[in-house]
Structure 1
Amino acid sequence: MWSIGELAEQAGVTVKTVRFYSDRGLLPETARSAGGHRRYGPEALDRLRLIRSLRTLDLPVPDVGRVLEREDALGDVLEDVVAGQLRELGPRLAALRWREAALHLLRDCAPEERPERLRLLGSVTAPPSTAAPARFWRSWLPARVPARLASAIVDTSIPQPPADPTPAQVLAFARLHALLAGIPHPGADYCQPAHHRPELGYDLGILYDGLTEAAALAAPALRARRSPHEGEALDCFVAAHARARGLRDTPDFRHRLSHQLAGDPYIGRYWELHAELSGHEPTLGAVHDWLRAALDSQAARTEGQLRCCP
């Protein structure tokens, strides 16, 4: 039988530690001396070592108690406790990585840039919430867009915070939030394309279904860094606009569509920041730019041919 001091010495811990776990029922004493002092058997040393191992994993004392209560099913209980700790640890680690990248961002910039960067960083959480861009895109899409399409467009248009961001990505996310804070209500003409206007009679379900298909067809060309060109993706893009208005895809329609799209408001800065955050994956904005450029090139060539051959 060991005294509390002898057990502490055997385990390499302090008497205070042994008393702490004893008082909480994690380390039962075997007996008491004639003077009322605690006595522990050899099994207490194994139990104390198990407690220390569990605490080394930063498990809270109540979770340690749960494991010790079910030593007959130690594996199952420990697996459950560890899984819960991992779920809690993930968000904390993500926040720490964002804070670390933000600190590098401030440390490594020129002194005159720090006030602005500090102001930008102060407006977002770590890691940042995607609520602001989600609100923007849900407001930007008219109620006439089918719910399934609206949900898919919103999901694709919102950049997800990287788990391990670079300082540049932290800055891009902060600038994205600042940009959205300065944009008027999405229902204003400032950022609404022509096809959202009810008087033009677009069937937005047909339009966005076709545009989604066109984007999927154009994406490989963007990944391969190919220049905008005619082909299946452009035909699908134009056909979506034509079908959505009940019109035929003709050279004249393509010419008029090119002019209409050129006059549409476009939030280019949003897509630039989105691209910084999403890496090499083409964004909807980049695909739209590519398809517009292909259409403009074709429309300009057709117009030139018509002028040469009256």
Structure 2
Amino acid sequence: MPAPQDGLWSIGELAEHAHVTVKTVRYYSDHGLLPEASRSVGGHRRYGPDALDRLRLIRSLRALDLPVPEVRRVLDEEDAWDAALEDAVAGRLRVLGSQLTALRWREAALQLVRDCPPGERADRLRLLGAVDTPPSTAPLVRFWRAWLPPRMSAGPESAFLEVTVPQPPDDPEPAQVLAFARLNALVTRPCPGGAQPQPEAHRATGARGADVLYTGLAEAYELAGSQLRQDRAPYPGEALDGFVAAYASAYGTRDTPVFRRLLTGQLTADPRLDRYWELMAVVNTPRGGRPEPTPGTAHDWLLTALRAQNDAAG
């Protein structure tokens, strides 16, 4: 490559060597990415030989779709260049991951509209149009925070939300997109007759009792879920004992056969959220896999085991 006589290139010479337009060089110069070495007598930009390598590096970074501010940050971090580049690439990967997830959700939503009967398309469009892309779980979180007893501690509340709020899959099947849209509609529409019906335990336990109850229930549901994954029929055991103990501790009473019979009656009479758990199971089912247990299916397994134990005791 021939060197300029004075060791400096004009903007046109630099553009020619880099195989870019003069407009491109001027753009990067105006944004502070490509410093000029000096100006000619006529006020024209002059660039040193190192500008060519810097321009090539800028183009490589921009080819990775890094925004101009990130490119500038990488170029300015001479002492920590590798770390700055790694951070910038990681940030861009996160953005692209979110964009890809959004595109996959839009693709599945389009398939839903295309494949449904014409008479159902308007309703389906309304369902899908009410959900962000990629979808947000904020409406589900708000629903459960309103349903849970007031003044619960942050720890038990967060643990309960973790198992009751399904995370949208990154690459959903159309059925999962439809189930999530229906979940969103379920938790955002007004409850018939006013507020969401509450289980008896919410009235009787108080804030401290609610912390104890939901901490214990989360452990019992996890144990029951393990049995459900093995297709085990409901039976008395560790999961059921933990389930009953959670209620007994919350109520400040002892776990006795009498209490277990009373608890069975209370839980049978409590309001149910079956539709929520059905839709959650669809959202949580891995592509080509089997449905994962939900708190709803775990609760039913435990209640069935409790009834069977009461019946056996006479």
1:67 aligns with 2:78: no
Task: Name the stretch that deviates more: 158-167 or 31-40.
Answer: 31-40
Which residue, 98, 111, 119 being the options, matches 1:104?
111
1:130 aligns with 2:129: no
Cα–Cα, structure 1 residues 295 and 56, in superposed 2: closer, same or farther, change >3 Å? same
Please report how far the alpha carbon of residue 136 of structure 1 lies from its aligned counterpart in structure 2 after TM superposition: 1.8
- Number of residue-to-residue matches in the alignment: 300
Please report how far the alpha carbon of residue 72 of structure 1 lies from its aligned counterpart in structure 2 after TM superposition: 5.5
Structure 2 residue aligned with 1:308: none
Which residue, 263, 280, 289 being the options, matches 2:300?
289
Residues 277-309 of structure 1, C-alpha deviation per residue, up to 9 Å, x if partnerless? Answer: 223442211110111122223334555xxxxxx
Residues 80-129 of structure 1, C-alpha deviation per residue, up to 9 Å, x if partnerless? Answer: 43344345444444333333332233233333332222101111211222
User: 2: CA distance between counterparts of 1:206 and 1:26?
Assistant: 58
Cα–Cα, structure 1 residues 281 and 32, in superposed 2: closer, same or farther, change >3 Å? same
Which residue, 201, 214, 228 being the options, matches 2:234?
228
Cα–Cα, structure 1 residues 93 and 186, in superposed 2: closer, same or farther, change >3 Å? farther
User: 2: CA distance between counterparts of 1:73 and 1:213?
Assistant: 46
Task: Determine if contact 1:186/1:192 at 8 Å carries over to the other structure.
Answer: no
User: 1: CA distance between counterparts of 2:193 and 2:228?
Assistant: 28
1:179-190 mapped onto 2 (5 Å cutoff):
179-184=186-191, 188=195
Cα–Cα, structure 1 residues 257 and 186, in superposed 2: closer, same or farther, change >3 Å? farther
The percentage of counterpart residues that share the same residue type is 60
Cα–Cα, structure 1 residues 12 and 197, in superposed 2: closer, same or farther, change >3 Å? same
1:76-115 mapped onto 2 (5 Å cutoff):
76-115=83-122
User: 1: CA distance between counterparts of 2:16 and 2:156?
Assistant: 67
1:1-310 mapped onto 2 (5 Å cutoff):
1=4, 3-29=10-36, 40=47, 42-71=49-78, 73-143=80-150, 145-184=152-191, 188=195, 191-198=197-204, 203-243=209-249, 244=251, 246-250=253-257, 252-279=258-285, 280-303=291-314
Cα–Cα, structure 1 residues 7 and 183, in superposed 2: closer, same or farther, change >3 Å? same
Task: Determine if contact 1:3/1:40 at 8 Å carries over to the other structure.
Answer: yes
Task: Name the stretch that deviates more: 203-212 or 14-23.
Answer: 203-212
- Output the TM-score relative to the length of structure 2: 0.80
Task: Determine if contact 2:143/2:188 at 8 Å carries over to the other structure.
Answer: no
**Unaligned stretches of 5+ residues in structure 2:** 286-290
Task: Name the stretch that deviates more: 224-233 or 172-181.
Answer: 224-233
Structure 2 residue aligned with 1:307: none
Task: Determine if contact 1:140/1:186 at 8 Å carries over to the other structure.
Answer: no
Cα–Cα, structure 1 residues 63 and 256, in superposed 2: closer, same or farther, change >3 Å? closer
Residues 145-176 of structure 1, C-alpha deviation per residue, up to 9 Å, x if partnerless? Answer: 55532332233211122233332222111111
Please report how far the alpha carbon of residue 144 of structure 1 lies from its aligned counterpart in structure 2 after TM superposition: 6.5
Cα–Cα, structure 1 residues 68 and 195, in superposed 2: closer, same or farther, change >3 Å? closer
Please report how far the alpha carbon of residue 239 of structure 1 lies from its aligned counterpart in structure 2 after TM superposition: 3.8
Task: Determine if contact 2:159/2:218 at 8 Å carries over to the other structure.
Answer: no
Residues 212-259 of structure 1, C-alpha deviation per residue, up to 9 Å, x if partnerless? Answer: 332233221111121212222223323443453524521x54344333
Task: Determine if contact 2:135/2:168 at 8 Å carries over to the other structure.
Answer: yes
**Unaligned stretches of 5+ residues in structure 1:** 304-310
Please report how far the alpha carbon of residue 179 of structure 1 lies from its aligned counterpart in structure 2 after TM superposition: 0.6
Q: Secondary structure at the match of 1:266?
A: coil
Please report how far the alpha carbon of residue 199 of structure 1 lies from its aligned counterpart in structure 2 after TM superposition: 9.3
CA RMSD in angstroms comes to 3.2
Residues 163-220 of structure 1, C-alpha deviation per residue, up to 9 Å, x if partnerless? Answer: 33332222111111101123529984x52112223399x9444443443332233221
- Output the TM-score relative to the length of structure 1: 0.81
